[in-house]
Amino acid sequence: MADPDPETVVPSAIGPERKRVLGVLAQRRGARKRQQRQHQVQSDVVQQLPLTPSTLQWGSTDNSYGQSTSILFDENGSNLFNPQSDDPTIPFLDPQAAHDQQLFIPTTCQFSDDRILQTPVLKLVRTAMEMATRLGCETTIWDPTTSHLLPRDIATLANLPPDFHPVEAQIMVPHHPLLDILPWPQVRSKLILLFSMPAYLRPPAARDALALVKLVYDLEDESEGCRILGEDGFSAASWEVGQKVFTNWWWAFDREIIQHSNALRRVRGVQALTLEQAYGPNATN
């Protein structure tokens, strides 16, 4: 262990030497506090200045205690802290002047592509609206009371992907355009036929007057709605059914769709779809 600094060893006896050492220690504590305040003020200055990420340059100077202190400089090497003030903690707070001096800081931060945040709802909405545009219902799709029929030759006219070619129900039974943007032909057929039936004959989730709106809410659920994995949103193979959708609309999906969704969920490390949440002892709908 290194020998203690004789300047900081406090004599046990009361006298001038003890007072001198205590004074030295007090001065050093005060210097450290001023240094901490200066760091805080520097941070506040950076937050107040209207600067872009490439506008600041940081340097460092060594103080008398062997520690490094960050100082904010302009491009000419001038300290931004007020040089005419007796208090080193009083900053130079002229945002316009600082902006005019073209301060800069090197941008060395790098972000890995595999850490990009995913936004499943955004991709879902983009795909849905592009398909609605191809079908010519980009406006009417927002009207919950509208219904239409698809022309028999719409697949050719609109250059529709194979999974979106209309089934017979889309051509023969009036339905809401929302049902046309689902990528599974058999699901579109079931939902169109079911919503054409009297409410009392439908499953519980589809009996309400706002059942179609509820379907939209379930599809767009942030965590357990439908999501599109990969780049091709016009392929049913890229669509995953979430637990929220499956809980309320399980009867519309074939076994192959659920098995494929479970395979995609396993890749993401998510639990397989289950009906326990809908029909278990503590189920709520």
3-state secondary structure the chain: CCCCCHHHCCCCCCCHHHHHHHHHHHHHHHHHHHHHHHHHHHHHHHHHCCCCCCCCEEEEEECCCCCEEEEEECCCCCECCCCCCCCCCCCCCCHHHHHHCCCCCCCCCCCCHHHCCCCHHHHHHHHHHHHHHHHCCCCHHHCCCCCECCCCCHHHHCCCCHHHCCCHHHHHCCECHHHHHCCCHHHHHHHHHHHCCCHHHCCHHHCCCCHHHHHHHHHCCCCCCCEECCCCCCCHHHEECCHHHHHHHHHHCCHHHHHHHHHHHHHHCCCCCCCHHHHCCCCCC
Query: Could you give the CA distance from residue 178 to residue 205 in angstroms, rounded to a whole number?
Result: 17
Lowest-confidence segment of 19-23, 121-125, 266-270 by average pLDDT: 19-23
Indicate the number of domains in the chain: 2
Lowest-confidence segment of 150-164, 208-222, 271-285 by average pLDDT: 271-285
127 shares its domain with 64: no
The answer as to whether 1 is a domain residue is no
Lowest-confidence segment of 86-95, 138-147, 223-232 by average pLDDT: 86-95
**Domain range spanning residue 178?**
115-279
Which is nearest to 218 in space by CA: 242, 187, 184, 240? 242
Residue 5 pLDDT > 70: no
> 183: how many CB neighbours lie within 10 A of its CB?
23
The answer as to whether 110 is a domain residue is no
> 9: how many CB neighbours lie within 10 A of its CB?
11
84 shares its domain with 128: no
67 shares its domain with 135: no
Tokens of 118: 């995913």
According to the model, what pLDDT value does residue 155 have? 82
211 shares its domain with 124: yes
Chain segment 113-132, per-residue pLDDT in tens: 444 556 778 889 999 999 99
According to the model, what pLDDT value does residue 32 have? 85
Share of the chain above pLDDT 70, in %: 65
Q: Structure pTM?
A: 0.57
The answer as to whether 108 is a domain residue is no
134 shares its domain with 274: yes
Residue 112 pLDDT > 90: no
Share of the chain above pLDDT 90, in %: 46
131 shares its domain with 238: yes
83 shares its domain with 136: no
Q: What's the one-letter identity of residue 124?
A: L
Residue 74 pLDDT > 60: no
Lowest-confidence segment of 51-55, 149-153, 215-219 by average pLDDT: 51-55
According to the model, what pLDDT value does residue 39 have? 73
65 neighbors 31 (Cβ within 8 angstroms): yes
166 shares its domain with 131: yes
Residue ending a domain, among 71, 100, 129, is 100
> Looking at residues 30-36, what average pLDDT do you find?
84
Query: Could you give the CA distance from residue 35 to residue 42 in angstroms, rounded to a whole number?
Result: 11
71 shares its domain with 121: no
Residue 208 pLDDT > 70: yes
> Looking at residues 13-22, what average pLDDT do you find?
75
Lowest-confidence segment of 95-109, 248-262, 271-285 by average pLDDT: 95-109
